[in-house]
Chains A and B, each alone.
Chain A
Amino acid sequence: MADLTSSSAGERLAEARRQTNAAARRRRWQLLSPAIIIIAAFGIFPLTITLIYSFLSPGTYGGVRWEFSTNAYVQFLFDRDIFDDTLQFSATYLSIFGRSIGLAFGATVGALLIGFPTAYFIASKPANQRNLWLFLITLPFWVNLLIRTYAILLIIRDEGIVNISLMWTGLIDQPIGMLYTDYAIFAGLIYSYLPFMVLPLYASLEKLDFRLVEAAYDLYASRFQVLRHVIVPMAKPGIVAGCILVFIPALGAYITPELLGGGKELMIGNLIALQFGGSRNWPFGSAAALILLVVVMVSLIVYVRYSGKEGSNHG
């Protein structure tokens, strides 16, 4: 060993490092392979099928005919005149998308407004009580969404408990038509996805260093100022995650608008379902699903970029 020059020792070290690096890379791939298989089988494969279908022609009794066509995408924005084949701009489907985005956005904001105080309440409980509260929050989720939505339907319909008790107390003499309105969908969406808001919010609020809150109080911040300048900025990761987790499923919601909107107030989810069912237009259904996917992805990227930037502006 003594006659080795330092440079050859260095080379041997580098060689050894290269070898361990290669081994580490191999190991990483081995560890990742189950995940890659799952992503391929359940993500990429169905997506590819959807993409292919969206460029085919509809079969008469459902399914597709293997004929290339961009009709599905054209149909999304334009009406084809049945007589002279000219295209006319039509906002029908666009407005369904708009409505859906509006409802999903409203539901996200609503869930945030209700979920934030809830999560804060739980996080401020003694540690040994928090799990009980979280359990209570997630408890309704043990029941099927369909059943829970039917329960809302029964409560708010004209002969439901709300209208009956209001009429019994004499506050109203006609039932309030709550069912089959946008408000019903809105309330249903908030109710359905609230835990997706509460849980990530709780996770970030629970980590909140309460000493920072005390420091802010000490530095003349009122309760509202503490909320605005300390708690909300610190809970930002939870807010971002919660909003994403509510917005995405709310945007594609199917059961809630179907039952509480009575099927006449369409959301994207219902539109897509309809194409694969009654309308027998699989390519258009596939195209609508892909457009939804793109809308979600783009809004996600914009949202994460924007909220990330705002966070670093503070710092």
Chain B
Amino acid sequence: MATQSATAQPNAHHQMAATTHEVMIHAEGVTKTFGQGSSQITALDNVTVDIRKNEFFTLLGPSGCGKTTLLRLIAGFDLPDAGQILLDGQEIGHLPPYKRPVNTVFQSYALFPHMSVARNIGFGLEMQGRPKSEIKNATEEMLALVQMEHLAGRRTDQLSGGQQQRVALARALAPRPKVLLLDEPLSALDLKLRKEMQIELKRLQGETGITFVFVTHDQEEALTMSDRIAVMQAGRILQVGGPKEIYNNPARRFVADFIGDINILDGELDAKGERVILPGGVSIGALLPEGAARTGHVSVAIRPENMNLTAADAPEAALTGRVTNIVYFGAGHNVHVALEGGGEVLVRRAQTDAQIGAHVGLSVPDAVQVLVD
């Protein structure tokens, strides 16, 4: 997917070149529609993506963008209208869910209420007809892995949300699937527990070496946990890349907007398409993603923490404006600056001596990201 991503950061490039990646899931031109006629919804629109072996891969996007639908197609609960899905090199499109070496952690956990914790965890192996001793050993191992040994005999409806979450994880991991699908597994937990489980999930992924496909609409969660992220919108994958790449070099306006705070400015590309001229007339380097305009009017994106406040007449001031507001948020300050030529930008600094109403200059990075709309 490197072809679709923005010009990658040098170190990201370096990492990718170091190892050749084996593909676990290859989806090609996958399309899925629901309903008929005028009420037809295209949940997935020609999605092509590679998910690598042993990686923590995240599908990130707003509610309704098709994340669950893509997971359900991989799990086999639904069939694609077009396209194919390969698992470890094999076409699995025709296989029912119980013949795919893929397990799911459901958003609702979907634990069997009429079975104990232990039997829930052993259920997959039991259905595969494994010997009793193996089921017992695997169940104990999984109970230990998710630190639930003391609750093995409980009924699942006597567990807290976090405990149910762990049982759901253990149950899905016990048969050692090639891929574990997780559909917003943390969204029902409170913030503290969610942070704990984020670390826990990352640990489990590392310890088991199983490919995780994780779904979330929480950009911070995605950045924290993922090896790579696919940002989705309206049934399409807009960009795939590592967290840093997605954060620092969003290729699309939607990706830039969706992840964190970002300043989007107008600019004019020069004839060669190498430099972009900002509203104040300063020209800086342009990072062009695939499919961006090569010349003319463009949008550029700069993160608030990549800008700095300077004196209005300082040589490094690319833009000038007036400070309209300063908001302290604990880890730093958000400084709002109304630009000379119109528009407002946000600058984020750990410390600032700026005053509201002051006339200031703004420095920008040497090169800025150009966005595709």
Residues of A that sit less than 8 Å from B by CB: 209, 211-212, 214-222, 225, 229-230, 233-234, 311, 314-315
Contact = CB atoms under 8 A, between A and B. Distances in A.
A226 to B, nearest CB: 8
A215 B112 contact: yes
Given A217-B77, A219-B175, A315-B115, A212 B97 contact: no
Contact of A216 (B75, B113, B116, B123): B123
B112 A218 contact: no
Given A315-B116, A315-B155, A214 B127 contact: no
B108 interface: yes
A112 B127 CA distance: 26
A230 B128 CA distance: 15
29 contacts: A209-B108, A209-B110, A211-B106, A212-B110, A212-B112, A214-B77, A215-B104, A215-B106, A216-B123, A216-B127, A217-B77, A217-B96, A217-B97, A217-B98, A218-B75, A218-B98, A219-B171, A219-B175, A220-B98, A220-B99, A220-B128, A221-B127, A225-B127, A229-B123, A230-B112, A234-B113, A314-B114, A315-B113, A315-B116
A220 B99 CA distance: 6
B98 A221 contact: yes
A211 to B, nearest CB: 4
A211 B108 contact: yes
A218 B104 contact: yes
Interface string B102-141: 1110101011111110010001100110000000000000
Given A234-B113, A315-B115, 14 more contacts: A211-B108, A212-B112, A212-B113, A215-B104, A217-B96, A219-B98, A219-B127, A219-B171, A221-B123, A221-B127, A222-B98, A229-B127, A233-B114, A315-B113
Contact of B110 (A211, A229, A234): A211
Contacts of A222: 98, 127
A214 B97 contact: yes
B48 to A, nearest CB: 25
Contacts of A211: 106, 108, 110
A314 B112 CA distance: 11
B116 A219 contact: no
A220 B125 CA distance: 8
B77 A314 contact: no
Interface of B: 75-77, 96-99, 102-104, 106, 108, 110-116, 119, 123-124, 127-128, 155, 171-172, 175
Nearest to B99: A220
Contacts of A234: 113-114
B103 A219 contact: yes
A225 to B, nearest CB: 5
Contacts of B111: 215
A230 B115 CA distance: 10
Nearest to A230: B112
A307 to B, nearest CB: 13
B127 A220 contact: yes
Nearest to B130: A220
B127 to A, nearest CB: 4
Residue among A217, A220, A221 with most chain B CB within 10 A: A220
B278 to A, nearest CB: 52
A214 B102 CA distance: 13
* Residue of A215, A221, A222 most packed against chain B (CB within 10 A): A215
A-B pairs, top 9 by smallest CB distance, nearest first, are: A219-B124, A215-B110, A217-B97, A220-B127, A221-B127, A211-B110, A233-B114, A220-B98, A218-B104
Contacts of A214: 77, 97, 106, 110
Contacts of A314: 114-115, 119
Contacts of B124: 219-220
A209 B113 CA distance: 10
Contacts of A311: 114
A219 B175 CA distance: 8
A221 B115 CA distance: 15
A225 B99 CA distance: 13
B75, B114, B116, B119: residue with the most chain A Cβ atoms closer than 10 Å: B114
Contacts of B115: 314-315
A275 B112 CA distance: 53
A315 B116 CA distance: 5
A144 B128 CA distance: 51
B215 to A, nearest CB: 15
A101 B171 CA distance: 44
Nearest to B72: A214
